[in-house]
Amino acid sequence: MGLTLAEKILSEKVGRRVKPGEIVVSRVDMAVAQDGTGPLTFDVIKELVGEERVFDPGKVLLTVDHTGPSPRRDLSNFQLRMRAFSKKTGAIIRDVGEGISHVLLAEDYVKPGDVVVGADSHTCTVGAMAAFATGLGSTDIAVAMVLGKIWFRVPETVKFELEGELPEGVYSKDLILSIIGRIGEDGASYKAMEYSGDGVKNLSMDARFTVSNMAHEAGGKVGLFPSDGETKKFMEENGRGRDWMPIEADGDASYYKEFRIDLTEIEPVVSYPHLPANVKPVKEAVKDGIRVDQVVIGTCTNGRLEDLEVAAKILKGRRVAKGTRLLVYPASRKIYLKAMKSGIIEALVEAGAVIGPPSCGPCVGIHLGVLGDGEVCLSTQNRNFLGRMGNPNSYIYLASPATCAASAIEGRIADPRDYL
């Protein structure tokens, strides 16, 4: 019997064949903490070993992405602690404005077959590169940073066989929201979500990152794509082609459950408050006439060049509706620069968008777009839990960058296919 992608990666790290359900101790290729979770991680390290140290400075990444630039003194002090820990241990730090950890991991550090752990649930994003990547608590991350290894329960795998190609006006965000709406917020609880089939080749790396990013919104441990020519192209574009290698599941691997998904049947969708799994077709949202006060395009889910590009295509020559705010956050400095040079940023600004620094933006509800009482936001982020954007008296809907751009023009949730 063959191995799934998750089993194959963990087997290589452990040094023997692993099976679902068993507890293993795996080597770690990269351990990550951000400004919200880093200080707690450092406290645990000091408690465990009596001093701040890491197993390999080149394999520990710290990012200032959740609260940069800092809006408060206490958060500024958190960031000072991040910088001090980096200076003392040699750990890599990517400071304010450089980008979101999950995107920086993909651009500069992760390679197929890696095991990556982060003190942030959306570390699973880089599973799009065939890396076993997952979020853990700050205590477990502290152990990983000190020892260079961590324990896992080998997950069972749910296979999603993709066929065909997404229609015009339909994007990977619609695909993953549709999957979550179909299986529920616990439909892949502690499972590996593995994507395969002929339809995979029709998804760009930007699209794959979006799908892998939201594995946790279905309860998944990891979200995995095979490493193929598209992966190689992405790594070459980022100067890391030599680190690429092909990895895919064995043809005779055994799965916990299998789903077949015809991409041609996916349509634009919207997640209603207060769960990502509360999914409805955009045409229903149009009928509901949902007015939006704020639209956000960005975050680790949809702040990539492809996302900004489709938004600019829809907004070019048009204007954001009066009474609606459009906030755009590129996910990394590299993406920001490419968007500037290609005219994407110019088109967005001319349409009335406010461009923020490469960061998580308002996703975690600390700054850069906290909602007022009763306000409605349509966002490309991954979560719309009650109070997620800083105010429990507000409402968050989730959608693709295309749907967000069309909705910004109309001032209410709109169908992007009307603008393409």
Domain boundary at 263, 293, 322, which? 263
Pair (255, 402) in one structural domain: no
Residue 45 lies in a domain: yes
Domain boundary at 242, 263, 284, which? 263
Cβ–Cβ < 8 Å for 82, 66: no
Which pTM was predicted? Answer: 0.96
Query: Helix 101-108 and helix 205-213: axis angle, to 10°?
Result: 140
Residue 403 lies in a domain: yes
CA nearest to 107, candidates 309, 338, 312: 338
What was the pLDDT predicted at 420?
A: 87
Pair (335, 202) in one structural domain: no
Pair (310, 414) in one structural domain: yes
Locus of tokens 């890491």: 54
CA nearest to 356, candidates 314, 412, 294: 294
Taking only the tens place, the pLDDT of each residue in 75-123 is 999 999 999 999 999 999 999 999 999 999 999 999 999 999 999 999 9
Pair (239, 322) in one structural domain: no
What was the pLDDT predicted at 387?
A: 87
Pair (225, 280) in one structural domain: no
Ramachandran angles phi, psi of 184, nearest 5° = 90, 165
Q: Indicate which CATH number applies to the domain containing 279.
A: 3.30.499.10
Q: Which amino acid is at 335?
A: I
The proportion of the chain whose per-residue pLDDT surpasses 70, expressed as a percent, equals 100
Pair (160, 60) in one structural domain: yes
Residue 246 domain boundaries: 5-263
* Number of domains present in the structure of the chain: 2
Residue 268 lies in a domain: no
- Buried b / exposed e over 345-379, threshold 16 CB at 10 Å, is bebbeebbbebbbbbbbbbbbbbbbebeeebbbbb
Residue 210 lies in a domain: yes
For residues 382 and 402, what is the distance between their CA atoms, to the nearest angstrom? 15
Taking only the tens place, the pLDDT of each residue in 370-388 is 999 999 999 999 999 998 9
405-415 average pLDDT score: 98
Residue 288 lies in a domain: yes
151-178 average pLDDT score: 98
User: In Å, how far are 147, 155, 314, 379 from 319, measured between CA atoms?
Assistant: 53, 47, 10, 18
3-state SS, one letter per residue, for 117-148: EECCHHHHHHHHHCCEEEECCHHHHHHHHHHC
Pair (302, 250) in one structural domain: no
Taking only the tens place, the pLDDT of each residue in 226-277 is 999 999 999 999 999 999 999 999 999 999 999 999 999 999 999 999 999 9
Pair (144, 207) in one structural domain: yes
What was the pLDDT predicted at 10?
A: 98
Pair (156, 231) in one structural domain: yes
Pair (304, 249) in one structural domain: no
Pair (256, 111) in one structural domain: yes
User: In Å, how far are 25, 29, 40, 141 from 152, measured between CA atoms?
Assistant: 6, 14, 21, 12
Provide the mean pLDDT of the chain: 96
Cβ–Cβ < 8 Å for 336, 251: no
Q: Prior bond to 362 cis, omega within 30?
A: no
Query: Is 126 buried (19+), middle (13-18) or exposed (0-12) by CB count in 10 A?
Result: buried
What was the pLDDT predicted at 1?
A: 85
Taking only the tens place, the pLDDT of each residue in 143-157 is 999 999 999 999 999
Residue 24 lies in a domain: yes
321-325 average pLDDT score: 97
Domain boundary at 206, 237, 263, which? 263
Residue 213 lies in a domain: yes
CA nearest to 396, candidates 295, 269, 283, 321: 295
Pair (247, 312) in one structural domain: no
